[in-house]
Amino acid sequence: MKPASFRYYAPQNADEAVSLLGEHAPDDGHILAGGQSLVPMMALRLARPGALIDINQISSFAEINSESGWLSIGPCVRHAAFHRSVVEGQLGTLLTEVTSHIAHYPIRTRGTLCGSLAHADPSSEWCLMATAMDAQIHARSTRGTRIINAEDFFDGAMITTLEPDEMIVLVRLPLLVSDSVFGFEEFSRRAGDYAMAAALAVYQLEDGWIRDARLAIGGAEDCPRRIPEAEAVLNGAQPTLEIFLEASSVAASAINPIKDSRISSDFRRSLVRTICGRALARTT
């Protein structure tokens, strides 16, 4: 399982990286960040980029900044960077919780959050998080930079709305207000496997009532998605077991399960119902 040949570039700054990507887009040029998802695909020859643009030595790409209510994450920030909270408040805690579920430690020391988004695996924990949190993805090409909201970013299993000559240069997440709570849960066959169903619930608790509920499901459909029908059950309600069960049932019914000869729709829905319920239980 040796990869096919490619041209290799190791640009020293963002401009160079973007320019190289523009030049090699016709040749299926790819950004190489962590490589933990891309390289296995190259080994299986499912991916055969004509050029790899290695961005690991661009030090500004590894930065995490928080200002004006936003957390900005560069394209080379590793999953492991979130092992400890990177920002005060619930967002920092949430990111630490989510990262601990990603694969295994040796993958996390190398793989990147932005890389996971670009890879768009339906089961990716970061893709689920970005969807739940309405992340802003900054995509840059030689033609300029544009901001893509998470709900417009994922376009199918392993498909995003990035143009071939665009790379993610930043992801921004809104900081969570102080009375926010969250709960994350996923189900996988073995420790560290991709999730067969995952749920991330985030809401504010105002005088004991739920508001601004975000409930996103991953691993069950082609893309992670917030489920408005389930959020409607939560908003304005109290965080009780009954409400959580109802929201979970609604979410299970609302999803359009991935077509998979090995996993039946019924089973996928059962998982969503269970995992959603457990994620919600963790919010209290």
Nearest CA-CA partner of 116 in 76, 66, 56, 175: 76
Q: Cα(236)–Cα(239) distance, rounded to whole angstroms?
A: 9
* Residue (28 or 179) nearer to another protein, CB: 28
Q: Is the dihedral of CA 218, 214, 204, 237 positive or negative?
A: negative
Nearest CA-CA partner of 283 in 177, 182, 133, 180: 182
240-269 footprint of another protein as x/- string (CB under 8 A): ---------------------xxxx-xx--
Residue selected from 205, 274, 281, 282 as contacting another protein according to rule CB under 8 A: 274
Residue 52 touches another protein, criterion: CB under 8 A? yes
Residue 99 touches another protein, criterion: CB under 8 A? no
Strand runs (DSSP E) across 124-177, as ranges?
136-141, 144-149, 154-156, 159-160, 167-174
Span of 49-57, 90-98, 143-151, 152-160 interacting with another protein by CB under 8 A: 49-57
Per the CB < 8 A criterion, the answer to whether 254 and 232 are in contact is no
* Residue (104 or 146) nearer to another protein, CB: 104
Residue 36 touches another protein, criterion: CB under 8 A? yes
What residues between 72 and 91 interact with another protein by CB under 8 A? 80
Residue 124: DSSP 8-state: -
Residue selected from 54, 63, 134, 246 as contacting another protein according to rule CB under 8 A: 54
* Residue (26 or 106) nearer to another protein, CB: 106
Please state the closest distance from residue 85 (CB atom) to another protein, in A.
Answer: 17
Per the CB < 8 A criterion, the answer to whether 273 and 255 are in contact is no
Please state the closest distance from residue 27 (CB atom) to another protein, in A.
Answer: 13
Residue 96 touches another protein, criterion: CB under 8 A? no
What is the helix (H) or strand (E) element at residue 228, kind and residue range?
helix 228-234
Please state the closest distance from residue 245 (CB atom) to another protein, in A.
Answer: 11
Residue 194 touches another protein, criterion: CB under 8 A? yes
* Residue (144 or 262) nearer to another protein, CB: 262
**Backbone φ and ψ of 195, nearest 5°:** -75, 140
Classify the phi-psi angles of 33: left when phi > 0, otherwise alpha if psi is within -120 to 50, otherwise beta.
alpha
Q: Cα(264)–Cα(261) distance, rounded to whole angstroms?
A: 7
Hey, is 274 helix, strand or coil? helix
Residue selected from 13, 19, 56, 142 as contacting another protein according to rule CB under 8 A: 56
Residue selected from 29, 115, 183, 277 as contacting another protein according to rule CB under 8 A: 277
Contact footprint for another protein (CB under 8 A): 1-8, 10, 32, 35-36, 39-40, 43-45, 52, 54, 56, 80, 104-107, 109-110, 187, 189-194, 261-264, 266-267, 270-271, 273-275, 277-278
